[in-house]
């Protein structure tokens, strides 16, 4: 097989960057290009991407636009939500969790059309290049990867526009000026980075937010929502059963109206630098809080605390692009085992930027909460308070021995 790629599957949005990449792959690499556009619920019209690819000479049978919303939420977002994963304690991993699915589908298409290479539009400074390529290599160890931002000299927006104009690539009027920030969106979240957000002392301008109303402008009356869980996954909202993607979209609408899910974060990228981003995850925030609420009733203390120890490691693996690694799969197996009894309902109060659990219940066979034992009233012998004395003395034994010896180290 030739070392020079002959046919390449490009992760293609139809925007300026990937339109230039498409032409660059054709003109500079001599590749036949197959385009793949994933509908992950980013809320954009995707048919223009098909027309742009056709205008660039891509064969109609080599233009793939796939609706992956249900697979995205069912097989990626929900498993991650079962883990209560938060990167650096705050970030719900909205961009990170989308990349392995895109990589998987690219490899599938490459096999289908006989392509020997894949390509993406991620820059050499970010995390996405790592996430895409770790996914590619995990699923096809011999695939060739073309990362234009690590090769070409088109290092600025003005140079991209010059290249586009020289090759008759249409450039939207709003792309000709310097972009105030960059965005990435899917059904779980919207992220914004760069330009006006690069000063971590400056407050995020109002115009950056696209998915949530300002909390101060949210309704003055709270809204209550009841979410049903089965085996750790949300299955219904206010009694209405929904598919995974439909349920998340519905929670997004509720979260948007109440200004829920905004996060201003300076994070540590896997490649080594710190970056400042603004994230909006309205439905995911509600889902995360509600899931923890149902676990409060149904998870044993030991399992719950172990999950809390595993969650940061799990989140780091997802953030760094190791979705297809054996260690992530091992953690997932443990987490999923913990969710077998996580079935019940949670009532969440939505009010001016906050989502708060105000009620939770579970059927008897799943519920570990016992009013008879915890009550401050007469427990009718359900709990013998005298047992606590021996428990305390056993736990205090080493402290008493230390106290008698003296706690000093000299």
Annotated catalytic residue 99 = yes
Edge-to-edge strand ranges of the sheet holding 274-280: 182-185, 190-193, 274-280, 262-268
Is residue 93 within 8 A of residue 318, CB to CB? The reply is yes
- The residue annotated as part of the active site, out of 182, 292, 336, 354, is 182
- What SS3 string covers the chain? CCCCCCEEEEECCCCHHHHHHHHHHHHCCCCEEEEEEEECCCCCCCHHHHHHHHHCCCCHHHEEEEECHHHHHHHHHHHHHHCCCCECCCECCCCHHHHHHHHHHHHHHHHHHCCCEEECCCCCCCCHHHHHHHHHHHHCCCCEEECHHHCCCCCCHHHHHHHHHHCCCCCCHHHCCCCCCEEEECCCCEEEECHHHCCCCCCCCHHHCCCCCCHHHCCCCCEEEEEEEECCEEEEECCEECCHHHHHHHHHHHHHHCCCCEEEEEEECCCCCEEEEEEECHHHHHHHHHHHHHHHHHCCHHHHHHHHHHHHHHHHHHHHCCCCCHHHHHHHHHHHHHCCCCCEEEEEEEECCEEEEEEEECCCCCCCCCHHHHCCCCCCCCCCCCHHHHHHHHHHHHHHHHHHHCCCCC
Q: Are residues 149 and 277 in the same domain?
A: no
Q: Are residues 260 and 150 in the same domain?
A: no
Burial zone of 215 (CB within 10 Å; 0-12 exposed, 13-18 middle, 19+ buried): middle
In a domain, 309, yes or no: no
In a domain, 305, yes or no: no
Phi-psi region of 255 (alpha: psi -120 to 50; beta: other; left: phi over 0): alpha
- Give the span between the Cα atoms of 9 and 63, in whole angstroms: 10
In a domain, 235, yes or no: yes
- The residue annotated as part of the active site, out of 13, 17, 19, 338, is 17
Of 130, 161, 179, the position where a domain reaches its end is 179
Name, in order, each residue with C-beta under 8 angstroms of 273's C-beta and a sequence gap of 6 or more. Answer: 125
Q: Are residues 195 and 120 in the same domain?
A: no
What is the per-residue pLDDT for 321? Answer: 98
- Give the span between the Cα atoms of 406 and 56, in whole angstroms: 80
- Give the span between the Cα atoms of 353 and 212, in whole angstroms: 9
- Give the span between the Cα atoms of 79 and 34, in whole angstroms: 31
- Give the span between the Cα atoms of 285 and 266, in whole angstroms: 19
Q: The domain containing residue 227 runs over which residues?
A: 183-299+341-361
- The residue annotated as part of the active site, out of 13, 19, 128, 328, is 128
In a domain, 1, yes or no: no
What is the per-residue pLDDT for 176? Answer: 58
Annotated catalytic residue 128 = yes
- The residue annotated as part of the active site, out of 99, 105, 131, 256, is 99
What is the per-residue pLDDT for 298? Answer: 98
Is residue 103 within 8 A of residue 135, CB to CB? The reply is yes
Of 155, 179, 203, the position where a domain reaches its end is 179
- Give the span between the Cα atoms of 101 and 111, in whole angstroms: 16
Q: Are residues 190 and 148 in the same domain?
A: no
Q: Are residues 157 and 243 in the same domain?
A: no
Q: Are residues 252 and 357 in the same domain?
A: yes
Locate 274 and state its tokens: 């710190």
Q: Are residues 145 and 24 in the same domain?
A: yes
What is the per-residue pLDDT for 1? Answer: 47
**Number of structural domains in the chain:** 3
Q: Are residues 151 and 241 in the same domain?
A: no
Q: Are residues 173 and 241 in the same domain?
A: no
Annotated catalytic residue 220 = no
What is the per-residue pLDDT for 408? Answer: 58
Q: Are residues 103 and 127 in the same domain?
A: yes
User: Residue-wise pLDDT tens for the chain (410 aa)?
Assistant: 457 899 999 999 999 999 999 999 999 999 999 999 999 999 888 999 999 999 999 999 999 999 999 999 999 999 999 999 999 999 999 999 999 999 999 999 999 999 999 999 999 999 999 999 999 999 999 999 999 999 999 988 889 999 999 998 988 765 555 567 889 999 999 999 998 999 999 999 999 999 999 999 999 999 999 999 999 999 999 999 999 999 999 999 999 999 999 999 999 999 999 999 999 999 999 999 999 999 999 999 999 999 999 999 999 999 999 999 999 999 999 999 999 999 999 999 999 999 999 999 999 999 999 888 887 888 788 888 999 999 999 999 999 999 999 865 55
In a domain, 17, yes or no: yes
Q: Are residues 391 and 255 in the same domain?
A: no
Locate 352 and state its tokens: 């001016």
- Global confidence as pTM: 0.94
Annotated catalytic residue 19 = no
In a domain, 34, yes or no: yes
Query: Strands 354-361 and 344-351: what pairing?
Result: antiparallel
In a domain, 316, yes or no: no
Q: Are residues 116 and 192 in the same domain?
A: no
């Amino acid at each position: 097989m030739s070392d020079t790629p002959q046919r390449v599957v490009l992760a293609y949005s139809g925007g300026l960057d990937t339109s230039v990449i498409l032409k660059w792959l054709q003109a500079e690499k001599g590749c036949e290009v197959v385009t793949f556009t994933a509908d992950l619920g980013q809320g954009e019209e995707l048919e223009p991407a098909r027309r742009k690819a056709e205008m660039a000479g891509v064969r109609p049978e080599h233009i793939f636009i796939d609706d992956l919303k249900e697979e995205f939420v069912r097989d990626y977002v929900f498993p991650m939500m079962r883990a209560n994963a938060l990167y650096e304690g705050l970030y719900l991993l909205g961009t990170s969790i989308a990349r392995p699915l895109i990589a998987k589908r690219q490899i599938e298409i490459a096999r289908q059309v006989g392509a020997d290479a894949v390509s993406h539009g991620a820059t050499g400074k970010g995390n996405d290049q790592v996430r895409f390529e770790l996914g590619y290599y995990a699923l096809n160890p011999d695939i060739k990867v073309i990362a234009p931002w690590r090769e070409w000299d088109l290092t600025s927006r003005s140079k991209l526009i010059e290249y586009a104009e020289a090759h008759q690539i249409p450039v939207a009027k709003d792309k000709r000026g310097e972009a105030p920030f960059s965005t990435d969106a899917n059904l779980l979240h919207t992220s914004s980075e760069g330009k006006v957000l690069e000063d971590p002392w400056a407050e995020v301008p109002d115009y950056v937010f696209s998915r949530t109303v300002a909390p101060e402008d949210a309704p003055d009356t709270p809204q209550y929502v009841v979410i049903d869980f089965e085996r750790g996954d949300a299955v219904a909202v206010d009694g209405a059963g929904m598919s995974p993607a439909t349920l998340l979209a519905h929670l997004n609408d509720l979260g948007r109206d109440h200004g829920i899910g905004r996060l201003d974060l300076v994070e540590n990228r896997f490649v080594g630098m710190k970056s400042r981003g603004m994230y909006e995850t309205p439905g995911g925030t509600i889902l995360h809080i509600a899931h923890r609420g149902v676990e409060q009733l149904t998870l044993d203390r030991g399992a719950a605390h172990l999950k809390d120890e595993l969650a940061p490691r799990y989140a780091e693996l997802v953030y760094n692009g190791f979705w297809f690694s054996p260690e992530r799969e091992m953690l997932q197996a443990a987490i999923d085992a913990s969710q077998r009894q996580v079935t019940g309902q949670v009532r969440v109060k939505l009010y001016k930027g906050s989502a708060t659990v105000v009620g939770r219940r579970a059927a008897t066979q799943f519920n570990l909460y016992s009013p008879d034992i915890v009550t401050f009233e007469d427990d009718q012998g359900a709990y013998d308070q005298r047992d606590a004395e021996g428990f305390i003395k056993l736990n205090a034994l080493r402290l008493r021995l230390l106290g008698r010896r003296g706690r000093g180290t000299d």
